[in-house]
Amino acid sequence: MTGARSSEADGYLNDLTVRDSLEEYVEALPQQVAAKIRGTLDLLDERYTTVTTPDDGAELSPYWRPLAEGREARWWWLRKPTVLPPGW
């Protein structure tokens, strides 16, 4: 981590790391089971894209070292909330 963060940023970073974990779990599951879970993740990802905008990770890179160093490439890390909470 780099820089000071707000609790909102901490919560958002936690959400994204949970999404990373979900992706890893789905990739490790048998294909038939993974397909069922993937359908639900796709719906959640669709919702996520409606409340975020692409920014190539600019908003989060001060708070997440892998992103700042160009090591984070999962698409959900490369978006920011359309409306940032006060104090972000």
Dump pLDDT digits (tens) for 37-82: 999 999 999 999 999 999 999 988 988 899 889 887 899 999 999 9
In this prediction, residue 40 carries a pLDDT of: 95
Residue 50 within any structural domain of the chain: yes
Residue 44 within any structural domain of the chain: yes
Residue 1 within any structural domain of the chain: no
Residue 25 within any structural domain of the chain: yes
Collapsing DSSP to helix, strand or coil, 64 comes out as coil
In this prediction, residue 4 carries a pLDDT of: 52
Residue 86 within any structural domain of the chain: no
Structure tokens at 84: 């940032």
Residue 88 within any structural domain of the chain: no
Residue 4 neighbours by CB under 8 Å, 6+ apart: none
Q: What is the DSSP letter of 39?
A: H
Instruction: Give residue 76's domain range.
Output: 7-81
The total number of structural domains in the chain stands at 1
The pTM of the full predicted model, rounded to 2 decimals, is 0.83
Confidence band (pLDDT; 50, 70, 90) for 8? confident
Question: In this model, does residue 2 exceed pLDDT 60?
Answer: no
Residue 63 within any structural domain of the chain: yes
The alpha helices in the chain, defined as continuous H runs, are 7-28, 31-50, 65-68
Residue 35 within any structural domain of the chain: yes
